[in-house]
Amino acid sequence: MRHAILALNAGSSSIKFGLYDLEPSAELQLVSRGKLDLGDAPRLSAKAADGTVHCDRPLAGDARNAGIDALLDWIESELGGRKLIAAGHRIVHGGREFVEPVRLTPAVIEGLDRLTPLAPLHQPGSLAPIRTLAALRPDLPQVGCFDTAFHQTIDPIVSRFALPRKYDAEGIRRYGFHGLSYEYIAGRLKEISPALAAKRTIVAHLGNGASLCAMRDGRSVDTTMGFSALDGLVMGTRCGAIDPGVLLYFVLERGIAGDALQHMLYEESGLLGISGISGDMRTLEASDDPNAREAVDLFAFRAAREAAALANTLGGLECLVFTAGIGEHSAPVRMAICERLRWLGVAIDEPSNAAHAEIIGRPDSKVEIRVVATDEESIIARHARAQGNA
């Protein structure tokens, strides 16, 4: 019987997963990658590393619990009789305490639950499959991997808000997110070339959730997300950076309650709010509606503006990397961002960009421009292997 590690990347409406065979003397080998859809039509789907469909079936009962149960049954009974020896999880917020992967015990889970006010729409979704898996397989080691951990290297002058100092001591500071994606990209750049990894680099993780990270020598030095996953760039349904006076106006003058304001900022804003059509970039790029065009333009404008600010933190810009769903697949968005950064020496090659090539900069570009597919699940599996004593 082959031993395997399961990496779970939970969102609000789906759980992405990767299954990896354990090879003690080599890298973990991807067996299957898939998704548990938890929406109106719950479904388990998975494909092998070569794209072959492994599984595609509807789920019955409570979507989240039934989905995890069906996934375990499929792995252990149908997929070559593999035995799970560890499971790793992406957890959005680790706060100040959890700055590296950790074995998940009841006390740790309780501590992570206390961080829910820092990520109210994300943390519960991160913790739900951990609890389900613990109930179904109480002896299975589980490891938590934190999106905030990669940014622990940020200098206090970057992470501090200009609020009374007592609040910083209470944990009101900029944390940064998408750390597992940035950790993967940092490692990938080092594999390509140690010299490349040492460059002043901005990584653009552009998806439904979006952020930028300034890094050098594989370490985060600045990022666009802050205390919460609302900050920074325009996102699918999230507003990004906003004048706090607007929020005070909503509360004090319009009488909008906290829950309603939270829902507006997380679920009704961003690309969806601007366009009035969709929060999906693919839908907006295919639309002739001027509001859709404005939403796409604002997305690119804000990304370029924030990139320029991060270049200031870095003291220059030598490499620009696009990753995640929009970053990897939207040539128009990449073009729009790069065009706004021409003054920094960014020169994009249109044919290479249209072909989604690995390197999309012109030969005369002063900034190396790359497209690198991210793989958060592989990072989660690697940490689960180490921390779970697999």
Q: Which of 109, 34, 112 is nearest to 74 (CA)?
A: 34
Average pLDDT score over residue span 216-221:
95
Asked if 122 and 92 touch (Cβ cutoff 8 Å), the reply is yes
CA distance 311 to 87: 37
Catalytic residue among 37, 56, 69, 147: 147
Quote the pLDDT of residue 24.
58
Q: Which of 11-20, 229-238, 310-319 has the lowest mean pLDDT?
A: 11-20
CA distance 374 to 292: 27
Average pLDDT score over residue span 291-300:
98
CA distance 390 to 387: 8
Quote the pLDDT of residue 25.
55
pTM for this prediction: 0.93
Q: What is the pLDDT of residues 100-135, one digit of tens each?
A: 999 999 999 999 999 888 888 888 888 989 999 999
CA distance 220 to 34: 29
Q: Which two tokens stand for residue 166?
A: 């007592």
Which range has highest mean pLDDT (39-53, 77-91, 289-303)?
289-303
Quote the pLDDT of residue 195.
92
Q: What is the pLDDT of residues 154-184, one digit of tens each?
A: 999 999 999 999 999 989 999 999 999 999 9
Residues 6+ apart with CB under 8 A from 195: none
Residue 85, Cβ density class (10 Å: 0-12 exposed, 13-18 middle, ≥19 buried)? middle
Quote the pLDDT of residue 389.
64
Is 147 in the active site?
yes
Average pLDDT score over residue span 251-264:
95
Residue 24, Cβ density class (10 Å: 0-12 exposed, 13-18 middle, ≥19 buried)? exposed
Q: Which two tokens stand for residue 74?
A: 């499929």
CA distance 386 to 6: 13
Binding residue positions for substrate: 90
Q: Which of 329, 374, 375, 373 is nearest to 353 (CA)?
A: 329
Quote the pLDDT of residue 307.
98
pLDDT bin (cut points 50, 70, 90) of residue 1 is low
CA distance 229 to 262: 12
* Cα–Cα distance list, 14 to 11, 39, 122 (Å): 5, 7, 12
CA distance 240 to 232: 5
Q: Between residues 223 and 65, which one has the greater pLDDT?
A: 223
Q: Express as a percent the part of the chain with pLDDT over 90.
A: 73
Binding residue positions: 9, 16, 90, 205-209, 280-282, 325-329, 376
Query: Coil, strand, or helix at residue 231?
Result: coil
List the alpha helices (DSSP H) in 215-280. Answer: 244-252, 258-267, 270-275
Pairing of strands 319-323, 368-371: parallel
Asked if 84 and 2 touch (Cβ cutoff 8 Å), the reply is no
Say whether pLDDT at 388 is over 70: no
